[in-house]
Amino acid sequence: MTQYITVDESHAGQRLDNFLLGLLKVPKSLVYRIIRKGEVRINGGRIKPEVRLCLDDKVRIPPLHSIGKKPIAKIDNKILSTLKESILFETTDLLVLNKPAGFAVHGGSNVPFGVIEALRELLNYPFLELVHRLDRATSGCLLLAKNRKTLTALHQLITAGQIEKYYAAVVSGQWPVALMRCDQPLKKVSVTEGQAKVLATREGKKACTLFEVQEANNDKSFLIAQLVTGRTHQIRVHCAYLGYPIIGDPLYGDFKINNTMKKAGLDRMLLHAMRVRFTLKGQIIDIKAPLPKEFKDITSL
């Protein structure tokens, strides 16, 4: 049956695509398809996915069974338990998760569900949205908003560069102590099956990462990287561009080194969102995600 939904205050200002993803719990590809075909309308008119909803807008949603809706994948109780144990911080407005490596943040055409879908099932909150994303292979601090006002406030902080993000990374090679900054512009050149590919090129957008060496030996270095800008795959591409790719990176890494590490028992990318710091409602929020065991001693890798 076709649905007609009136936008309330909790969804006013939200992008149409994100609204539908949260409401329908279906793959992202399906949401974009029904928008592209004009089966989703706002106030009777065709609309683009990036358009933001206004209070009292009337959103038409077609009957999903007629366009091949698939059953929602059952989420294993072990996964739900793992995510519950990974909650680092929670208030009435905000939740910070220590996202495990290997978990996508949301479902897609080849991923039946992600962290956001699992947490919605686990917690059953009236509102829960991702504030930002982490790559599937990256672990660490992931912010989720529990109401529209907080989501908007955090997006404004991100735009203003007022959320400090620090990452732990283990790279191949002995990183020079004097190499503390990379300003190489980055350009997203392709997206294949949901996977972005980014190049370091002068034609790209401004990107800046700060680096600090914590430990190093002849063939590996443990770094702390701080994002000044927040481009797709920024730390991964900057490390590879400088000649010190992140160990285990399946897209920009050294495949020979990755294979060697995999044979030694390492089967993940060594990038971890270790800390976020910002001010919300006058309160300083400073959250740290414990280092995974793979980062504890790089000499044992």
Domain range list for the chain: 3-62, 78-155, 162-300
Tell me which of 17-31, 59-73, 99-113 is least confident: 59-73
CATH code for residues 78-155:
3.30.2350.10
Same fold, 3-62 and 78-155: no
Each residue of 28-62: pLDDT tens digit?
A: 888 898 999 999 999 999 999 999 999 999 999 98
Higher pLDDT, 108 or 262: 262
State residue 298's pLDDT score.
62
Higher pLDDT, 67 or 156: 156
Tell me which of 14-28, 117-131, 231-245 is least confident: 14-28
State residue 191's pLDDT score.
65
Q: What's the N-to-C CA distance of the chain in angstroms?
A: 56
State residue 192's pLDDT score.
59
Residue 84 in this model has a pLDDT that exceeds 70: yes
Alpha carbon separation from 164 to 9, 80, 152, 283 (Å, rounded): 29, 29, 17, 15
Residue 199's beta-bridge partner residues? 187
Query: What does pLDDT average to over the chain?
Result: 90
b/e code 166-199 from CB counts within 10 Å (16+ = b): bbbbbbbbebeeeeeebebbbbeeeeeeeeeebb
Q: What's the fold here for domain 162-300?
A: Pseudouridine synthase (3.30.2350)
* Percentage of residues of the chain with pLDDT beyond 70: 93
State residue 38's pLDDT score.
92
Q: Please tell me the distance from the alpha carbon of residue 246 to that of residue 223, in angstroms, as a whole number.
A: 10
Tokens in use for 54? 């206004």
Residue 89's beta-bridge partner residues? 96
Q: Please tell me the distance from the alpha carbon of residue 208 to that of residue 226, in angstroms, as a whole number.
A: 9
State the maximum Cα–Cα separation within the chain, in Å, rounded to a whole number: 64
The mean pLDDT value for 76-103 works out to 96
Residue 66 in this model has a pLDDT that exceeds 50: no
Each residue of 192-237: pLDDT tens digit?
A: 555 679 999 999 999 999 999 998 888 899 999 999 999 999 999 9
Q: Which residues participate in catalysis according to the annotation?
A: 135
pLDDT band for position 68 (cuts 50, 70, 90): very low
Alpha carbon separation from 169 to 145, 238, 294 (Å, rounded): 27, 12, 11
When the candidates are 1.20.140.10, 3.40.640.10, 3.40.50.300, 3.10.290.10, the CATH number that belongs to 3-62 is: 3.10.290.10
**Cβ neighbours of residue 77 closer than 8 Å, sequence gap 6 or more:** none
Higher pLDDT, 18 or 150: 150
Residue 69 in this model has a pLDDT that exceeds 50: no
The mean pLDDT value for 275-279 works out to 98
Residue 25 in this model has a pLDDT that exceeds 80: no
